[in-house]
Amino acid sequence: MNLTHLGWNSRLEQRFEPHRLDGLAPARVVREDRDRYRVNDGAERPAEVSGRFRHEAQSRTDYPAVGDWVAVRSSDADGPVTIVAVLPRSSTFIRHAVGDATEPQVVAANVDTVFVVAGLDADYNPRRIERYVTAAWESGAQPVIVLNKSDLAEDLETRIAETELLAPGVPVVAVSAREALGLDALGAWLTPGSTVALLGMSGVGKSTIVNALLGEERLATNEVRAWDSRGRHTTTHRELVPLPCGAVLIDTPGMRVLQLWTDESALEDTFPEIEMLARECRFRDCRHQSEPGCAVLAAESAGTLEPERLASWRKLQRELRWLAGKQDQRVRLEEQARWRAIHNSMKSHPKLKARGERW
Ligand code: GDP
Ligand code: ZN
């Protein structure tokens, strides 16, 4: 595959020149998972950052993220390539740390256009649209508001006018992803080589829009055959996908829950009735699956809780847990590395050696 399909252009090539002179090749990060990367430099390969990169990194945000252009050195044909440098980013989505558990982290880089997706159903919430648009501006990307589920809108024209007032200068497009209506209008931003991403609460229709954009190539492009460490055949999810129209889509789990981390009350904002019920559960850490004394399940079977609301709330919870797990894992690995370093320095400590103490 040619790198222009991933958004490479002559401007980037120009900036890359010093790296070329060093014998490095350009590649784009298509997936990031706990410090392991997959990059595409014409073909997709595993990658890791060089020891020097690690040493010189000042913070987590210096590390490669999905969408980054990186300079790589390849070793033997099968092994991972080494990421030596990350090119300056044109836009950066940062997930801020929650509590003091982890450092801020880049969840996507070099996005040109962000489709801020909102649903024209009962969940329509102008304040939330404002927050997403703000997050898009802060990243350096260009926001476009996509009002989805136009098939459900009572008074479409009024809603569009209202939304246009929220964010002057930001284009507003009404679509129905499910009915495949109005999606052509997105073509203005889906130009070959441009990078797009979607932001919006769970349930607004992001996946439906992505599937429509992917069309028939959906499975072929979105999933990658790979082999895990035990040689088993697995399918992994690629987080940067070239679309049939020539644009590149970034769809990372981190992007999906971005707003929840910039605004922790979003979950409660969106599902106040469920959050309220959850406080009545017998167990504080109730997951509302099958626990005794679960107020959420009780409301579900009593029919006082809309099954659709519960389903999208569950989906959101899963996304949050996924992300939390990913963070925990990172903290654990960093902690292990720190202790290994301490143990190693202790082992070689002359006093300890003399006393014959062992670690
Ligand atoms: P995501 O969580 O943002 O990825 O949302 P999904 O794409 O999973 O969609 C959530 C729900 O909204 C699903 O049941 C979709 O079928 C439905 N949906 C998506 N787009 C439309 C639309 O244009 N109109 C209507 N009525 N429903 C839609
Ligand atoms: Zn419960």
User: From first to last of its 359 residues, what are the pLDDT tens digits of the chain?
Assistant: 589 999 999 999 999 999 999 999 999 999 998 788 999 999 989 999 999 999 999 988 999 999 999 999 987 667 799 999 999 999 999 876 554 445 778 999 999 999 999 999 987 888 788 878 878 888 889 999 999 999 999 899 999 999 998 887 899 999 999 999 999 999 999 999 999 999 988 789 988 999 899 886 554 444 444 444 444 444 456 789 999 999 999 988 778 666 554 444 555 656 778 888 999 999 888 888 888 999 999 999 999 988 877 887 786 676 666 655 655 565 566 656 666 666 666 666 555 555 544 44
Ligand 2 centre distance from Cα of residue 330 (Å): 28
C-alpha span between 279 and 8 (Å, rounded): 50
The number of the ligand nearest the C-alpha atom of 309 reads 1
C-alpha span between 228 and 315 (Å, rounded): 27
Q: Which residues line ligand 1 (CB under 6 A)?
A: 148-149, 151-152, 176-178, 200, 202-208
- With vertex at residue 103, the alpha carbon angle to CA 94 and CA 333, rounded to the nearest 5 degrees, is 120
C-alpha span between 257 and 224 (Å, rounded): 23
Ligand 2 centre distance from Cα of residue 321 (Å): 16
**Candidate from 208, 256, 258 with most ligand 1 atoms within 8 A of CB, to mutate:** 208
| pTM score | 0.72
The number of the ligand nearest the C-alpha atom of 201 reads 1
The helix (H) or strand (E) run that includes residue 195 is strand 195-199
C-alpha span between 332 and 242 (Å, rounded): 34
The number of the ligand nearest the C-alpha atom of 286 reads 2
Nearest to 254 by CA among 271, 235, 240: 240
**Candidate from 114, 124, 150, 178 with most ligand 1 atoms within 8 A of CB, to mutate:** 178
